[in-house]
Structure 1
Amino acid sequence: MKKVTRGIAVVLAAIMTVTGVKTVPVKADTQAKSVDIMFTSDLHSHVNSFNTILAGETEAKNVGGFARIETLIKEQKEENPETLLLDGGDFSMGTLIQTVYEDEAAELRLLGELGVDATTFGNHEYDYRSSGLHNMLGTAVESGDALPEIVLCNVDWDAMEEEGLTEDQQLIRDAFDDYEVKDYTMVEKDGVKIAIVGVFGTDALACAPTCALLFEDPVEAVKRTVAEIKKNEDADMIICVSHSGVNLADEDKSEDENLAKEVPDLDLIISGHTHTKLEEPIVHGDTYVVAPGEYGEFVGSLSMTQKDNGRWTLEKYELIPVDESVESDTAMQEKVDTFMQAVDEKYLSAFGYTKDEVLATNDVTFCTLKDLEAKHTELNLGDLMSDAYVYAVENSADFDGETVDVAVVPSGTVRDTYTTGDITVEDVFNSFSLGTGKDGVPGYPLISVYFTGKELKTMAEIDASVSDLMPTARLYISGLNFTYNPNRMLLNRVTDVYLTDKNGERVEIEDDKLYRVVADLYSGQMMGAVTDMSYGLLSVVPKYADGTPVEDFEDVILYEDGKELKAWDAIARYMQSFEDTDGDGIANVSEYYAADHDRKVVEDDKSLGAKLSHPNRFVAMAAGVIAVLILLVVFIIVIVVKVVKKVRKKKRN
């Protein structure tokens, strides 16, 4: 039989030779390698499903949740058990589960339960300060549960050790060693050897004011690590889980796109930090950049096949909605519920709440989370939160009688909106869930500082001029109203600014008077970044009541009965304070928030008169610079003319 088969093959080969058909020898083991990958990023402790309004939509949806993600992973693994699972960092800090971060390490342990192969650190993992991060990693290791690898290549341990490790740096070093955090890790899936490197971005570091570590340049660190991988490993593919982000508005500031261009040996970048949802990958050369959005609202899924040159091509890419169409995995939900049971006992009991307690019933349509950054105008979600700060401070048991003039909420501190229906304690916490205070208790506390009237006007100009460049710094304010024209010169866009009293009446601002301003701790700590964005031109100096500059914002934290007054608790108290209009014993969110109140008015006037009216000192400075440049040009022209005349005169002579 073998001889007959061989004979047929010879005959066929002869026929194809005569007819001009080329024969290509094929070996059984030369089938192109392929790999399937599922990925998440910026989960921010959203282990449970939650109600929200997605960007571009008007109706509330119930989305996310590890139980649904587990179902999607199981469905994928039925098709390919060797599917690679990756996460791009910021896996914590965003919901009530973060309050047991140190004691339970729920986020990492649940990522391990999902089967995630590798993740990296985002800026919000450092919000718990060095001791919190140290304790969380220790708890995760001690649990004995399966855990994802953590990869991070650009911590500059050499520079820190040369200076001598601080106590905080040593804590993190010990925790990293215990967890075995690496620059990169090797994973094999279906015969494909994959190197996974992690990196922490420049903007991410700028957004981590309590991070004690020093970092190398992300691009240079990845270049070095990729070189090590190529030298020491037989890797078929190199993937970077990057907490750096993409900027769709400005490619020059798009860190992960720059990484793709500068490190062309990377086959794939899982991009986190900017919460970007890329419907289609960004491609530079042979490097693909993908991003799944935030909070587990979508899970990324892709397939890649290796080309003849050893690089990889994308065969399939999709972002799978994690919504009510996906059935929750019962076993995973039970594990999530077990962790959530600790929240009431270990955290909320100290505030007198339970997670499911209804604070108010809501019939108002609030703006979406994305609206806060995308729309530069007054928005009701910011109005409510800033009003809540004023209410909580002035109704605190420790209120000293000095009223709050202004309360400020930057868009970057808000983490979710409110849907219609019941608003629970969990909903409110999740809407403003960032950070810890000086006390180490989850939740940023409120702070109280003073600014001059002139600085309040500058604050309005910061919002009008800088927040388009830094949308997370867009301000929503109680007590300060202003009008701005986006068509006017940068740093001279505000055309009217004033205070409003408790009756909503206009009060003119006195430049030299000190006014009391309330914000959250993180906003104070990030004030320097906003000043840098304007290159120091728009600068405000927070002060004590006596006018002395504040050096450490932890010194101006507000307390009640010896405990920090948390920003999220301020919102919860305000919710409970609303009138019960339907008589069911539960407060109803005020209809006041169904309309705007001229807190931020956009005057879209493109006329020349509107652009040039009310010039401020920055216009004068710009005019001075222009005048100097004109004089310089005139001077150069005069000199050139004189030189030309001299040359011509010499030629005639």
Structure 2
Amino acid sequence: MRRLTVLSLISLIVLSTFSTPSVLAESLHSTMTADELHFTILHTNDEHSAMVPFPLVDFDSEKPNPSLGGFARLAQAVKDIRAAKEAVNEPVLLLSAGDYVAGHPYSWLALEGKAPELSVMTEIGYDVITIGNHEYDYGPDLLAEYYTAAGYPAANADTVLVASNVLPPPGHALDDVGINKTHVKVLEGGLKLGFFGLIGIDAVNVAPNAAPVEFADQVEAAQAAVAELEKQDVDVIIAITHAGEDEDVDLAKAVPGIDVVVGGHAHTLLREPIIEGETIIVQAGEYLKYMGCLELAYNTATGKVRVRNADTGQPYVIPLDDTFAQEPETAELVAECTADLNTMIAEMTDGRFADIAETVVWSSFAVPNTPVLQETPFANFVTDAMRLVTEETTGEKVHLACQANGTLRGSIVPGSMPWSEDRVCFYDLASLVGLGSGPDGTPGYPLVSAYLTGQELRRLFEVQVLLAELMGDTYFLQFSGARMIYDPDRAVLFTVPFLDLPIPTTMAVLSAELYAGEGIQDTEEYIRLAKNDQQLYHIVTDYYIASFLPMVGQMLPSLGLVMKDEHGNPIVDLDDAIIYRNGHELKVWQAVVEYAASQPLDNEGNPRISPYYAATAGRLVTKHTVPLWIWLVLILAVLVALVVVIVRAARHRKRRRKLVA
């Protein structure tokens, strides 16, 4: 039984013995019921540097608008709720489940030694935060600098950093920023809360730049944290996880004693909590579009925690829309960060773009990045930008551009208000493709130029089908310069038991063609790509994909890819394949923004996105055929039938010989 259970029973007896009825009634009115202590958890996750409302092009602080999010609106919402709860003596906590860095361009300022997101979050008054996978996007060394810039380890006095399964190597700078395995906080009224933080399995798998940081087993780390917190006699245990709700449910099943899980990573908007046993699981979407609000009651008699939202009518998630004004002090802090970002962008684009709110292109339609696991118009736009801007930069024909869905962060949504109609601004566009950094330490993954044989391109297409089947939409590859028909059901022949090793068929791609025309793929000028084609073809992708794809061949040799130079020599150092322009790495986001700005001009002289991108273009076509296992069964049946026929024929001949003899 938790600490407060016994103490509260004693206090109830004393209170009922010596309090007058009027005093007790007043106490019950202000604190609900005598055996309950109320508190509220406000929470966000996957903020991804979305410091201003999105889409920014629609935002106007003085007018009604449909934009969501932004730290200044969040600050006002938190301020309002804290004031309302303070009036009834109810404590309020504000938590983040990680990935506050990366995605939107404000994260680029981390590469200049700043920590805009976390500096503002500490001012807003976050109580406890954890570390997500995208915090490692720029590497653990720079992450340590980021926390230092945000004031850590001293900042732990206000905003506690908990990450229970993060294992920096001895002597690493992350050891010096004050990462806590657990944290205990005593609320007014005596309620004692225990916190721990976790990064999940899938999140670790998509944190390629985290090395040499390692991560302990999630369940073992949680068990150790719960045991430590119980040793400290806490009343409520709260896990702040960056794992996704599926892993959160598994955690609740595997580790008894967790009362609440405040989660992130999956970007899921849970409009109601998931209840797994006695564990309450919440998550609040993405990009600060919503703030989670979980009203809880701790029963001092039973030691149990229950949800109160249904009683009070309080929604579990609150849209951060224009009903919230911008909190002035936070708005001023964000404006300072915006000025720094505008200066940075002007320097990186040689003055071509100098304001994140500047209109880059117009469009009379949205360019969606949905549905999952399929060709999308936005993916076609991005890969076309990569292919065509590279051709313009290098003066060489590019046969194929390749990009993964995991780096495409949304859809192009043009403005919808009178002052923004059809407009797409720099911030809204760059936010969709601004992940990563290059070896030069500047924002964005650089473009990489390499050559593959036609046979390897066929393997690349097989990899596309296989990765999508085994690893989901994050690894679904999109292409410019090609057209393929494939059967996803034929990607894997079978999986080796115990080893969990898939055996690819290399027969999922039914046909593959390369575009032989110029510009976008709006004609039928295609050439068939033969399976044994040894000709070299020029491809472009980003630095991360180029480093990842050859690893598939290391695990599955039948799908091996060797990046080559134009002479067919293997590329030993991937840095040598980076595309440079005017002495600087050419980034994916730069290619996309410039491609957008170079769209055909409309009657008013403005670049307007081509109607070609209003829908998909038939580049990735699925066709379901007879499953390979049926062919295997048929072949096996034929073989068995042949064996039976042969055996019967042999026996028949043997009987005939006996009769003749």
Class of the TM-score when normalised by the shorter of the 2 chains: 0.7 to 0.9
Paired residue type of 2:511: D
- Tell me the SS of whatever aligns to 1:381: helix
* Equivalent residue number for residue 619 of structure 2: 599
Identity %: 30
* CA offset digits 1:542-564 (Å, max 9, x no partner): 33334444455333221112211
CA distance in 2, matches of 1:52, 1:530: 39
Matched, 1:379 2:376: yes
Report how far residue 116 of structure 1 moved.
Answer: 0.7
Report how far residue 463 of structure 1 moved.
Answer: 2.9
Q: Is the 8 A contact 1:489 1:611 kept in 2?
A: no
**Cα 1:204/1:348, change in 2 over 3 Å:** farther
- Worse-matched range after superposition: 262-271 or 535-544: 535-544
- Alignment partner for residue 117 of structure 2, among 104, 107, 114? 107
CA distance in 1, matches of 2:638, 2:443: 54
Q: Is the 8 A contact 2:102 2:134 kept in 1?
A: yes
Report how far residue 571 of structure 1 moved.
Answer: 0.5
Q: Is the 8 A contact 1:473 1:530 kept in 2?
A: no
**Cα 1:320/1:142, change in 2 over 3 Å:** closer
- Alignment partner for residue 415 of structure 1, among 409, 415, 418? 409
Paired residue type of 2:545: S
- Tell me the SS of whatever aligns to 1:62: coil
CA distance in 2, matches of 1:345, 1:526: 33
- Worse-matched range after superposition: 386-395 or 464-473: 464-473
- Alignment partner for residue 597 of structure 2, among 576, 589, 592? 576
* Equivalent residue number for residue 10 of structure 2: none
**Cα 1:498/1:28, change in 2 over 3 Å:** closer
* Equivalent residue number for residue 436 of structure 1: 437
* Equivalent residue number for residue 476 of structure 1: 478
* Equivalent residue number for residue 18 of structure 1: none
CA distance in 2, matches of 1:488, 1:96: 40
CA distance in 2, matches of 1:554, 1:154: 32
Report how far residue 205 of structure 1 moved.
Answer: 1.6
CA distance in 1, matches of 2:101, 2:151: 17
Paired residue type of 2:257: D
- Tell me the SS of whatever aligns to 2:131: coil
Report how far residue 365 of structure 1 moved.
Answer: 2.1
Q: Is the 8 A contact 2:469 2:488 kept in 1?
A: no
* Equivalent residue number for residue 315 of structure 1: 308
Report how far residue 362 of structure 1 moved.
Answer: 1.3
Report how far residue 407 of structure 1 moved.
Answer: 0.5
* CA offset digits 1:345-395 (Å, max 9, x no partner): 23432313212332211113211x4x2xx4333211000000000122111
**Cα 1:480/1:445, change in 2 over 3 Å:** same
Q: Is the 8 A contact 1:52 1:418 kept in 2?
A: no
Matched, 1:389 2:386: yes
- Tell me the SS of whatever aligns to 1:112: helix
Q: Is the 8 A contact 2:375 2:620 kept in 1?
A: yes
Report how far residue 219 of structure 1 moved.
Answer: 1.2
CA distance in 1, matches of 2:33, 2:594: 67
**Cα 1:626/1:123, change in 2 over 3 Å:** farther
Query: What does 1:190-589 correspond to in 2, within 5 Å?
Result: 190=188, 191-212=190-211, 213-231=213-231, 233-246=232-245, 254-307=246-299, 308-316=301-309, 318-352=316-350, 353-354=353-354, 355-367=356-368, 369=369, 371=370, 374-396=371-393, 399=394, 401-420=395-414, 421-469=422-470, 470-486=472-488, 488=490, 490=492, 491=505, 492-503=507-518, 504=523, 505-510=525-530, 511-527=533-549, 538-584=559-605, 586-589=606-609
* CA offset digits 1:572-631 (Å, max 9, x no partner): 1111211212233x311112212332211233x5xxxx326xx7xxx79x9399959998
**Cα 1:507/1:435, change in 2 over 3 Å:** same
CA distance in 2, matches of 1:630, 1:240: 58
Report how far residue 38 of structure 1 moved.
Answer: 0.6
- Tell me the SS of whatever aligns to 1:497: strand
**Cα 1:150/1:531, change in 2 over 3 Å:** farther
Report how far residue 194 of structure 1 moved.
Answer: 0.8
**Cα 1:569/1:299, change in 2 over 3 Å:** same
- Tell me the SS of whatever aligns to 1:35: strand
* CA offset digits 1:478-526 (Å, max 9, x no partner): 0011122445564544322111122441112142222221111222334
Q: Is the 8 A contact 1:83 1:189 kept in 2?
A: no
Report how far residue 413 of structure 1 moved.
Answer: 0.1
Q: Is the 8 A contact 1:39 1:299 kept in 2?
A: yes
* CA offset digits 1:233-275 (Å, max 9, x no partner): 12111111111113xxxxxxx3222111111211111111121
CA distance in 1, matches of 2:150, 2:32: 44
* CA offset digits 1:398-433 (Å, max 9, x no partner): x1x331111012110012321122222222211111
Q: Is the 8 A contact 1:482 1:497 kept in 2?
A: yes
- Worse-matched range after superposition: 94-103 or 573-582: 94-103
Report how far residue 29 of structure 1 moved.
Answer: 9.8
Paired residue type of 2:77: L
**Cα 1:331/1:52, change in 2 over 3 Å:** closer
CA distance in 2, matches of 1:41, 1:410: 23
**Cα 1:147/1:482, change in 2 over 3 Å:** farther
Paired residue type of 2:340: A
- Tell me the SS of whatever aligns to 1:220: helix
CA distance in 2, matches of 1:28, 1:415: 44
- Tell me the SS of whatever aligns to 1:50: coil
CA distance in 2, matches of 1:564, 1:267: 48
* Equivalent residue number for residue 17 of structure 1: none
Paired residue type of 1:426: Y
**Cα 1:390/1:28, change in 2 over 3 Å:** closer
- Worse-matched range after superposition: 496-505 or 104-113: 496-505
- Worse-matched range after superposition: 302-311 or 404-413: 302-311
Once superposed, what is the RMSD of the aligned Cα atoms?
3.1
CA distance in 1, matches of 2:638, 2:233: 59
Report how far residue 435 of structure 1 moved.
Answer: 1.0
CA distance in 1, matches of 2:636, 2:358: 64
Query: What does 1:120-199 correspond to in 2, within 5 Å?
Result: 120-141=130-151, 148-157=159-168, 160-161=169-170, 170-173=172-175, 177=176, 179-190=177-188, 191-199=190-198
CA distance in 2, matches of 1:427, 1:519: 22
Matched, 1:51 2:45: no
CA distance in 2, matches of 1:551, 1:64: 44
TM-score by length of 1: 0.80
- Alignment partner for residue 76 of structure 1, among 81, 85, 91? 81
- Alignment partner for residue 43 of structure 2, among 31, 39, 43? 39
- Tell me the SS of whatever aligns to 2:444: coil
**Cα 1:283/1:542, change in 2 over 3 Å:** farther
Paired residue type of 2:174: I
Matched, 1:117 2:127: yes
* Equivalent residue number for residue 22 of structure 2: none
Report how far residue 451 of structure 1 moved.
Answer: 2.2
TM-score by length of 2: 0.79
Report how far residue 299 of structure 1 moved.
Answer: 0.9
- Tell me the SS of whatever aligns to 1:587: coil
- Tell me the SS of whatever aligns to 2:215: coil
* CA offset digits 1:188-217 (Å, max 9, x no partner): 233321111011222212211111201111
CA distance in 2, matches of 1:313, 1:114: 27
User: Where in structure 1 are there 5+ consecutive unaligned residues?
Assistant: 1-8, 10-26, 54-59, 247-253, 639-653
Report how far residue 468 of structure 1 moved.
Answer: 4.1
Q: Is the 8 A contact 2:563 2:570 kept in 1?
A: yes
- Worse-matched range after superposition: 548-557 or 313-322: 548-557
Paired residue type of 2:615: A
* Equivalent residue number for residue 57 of structure 1: none
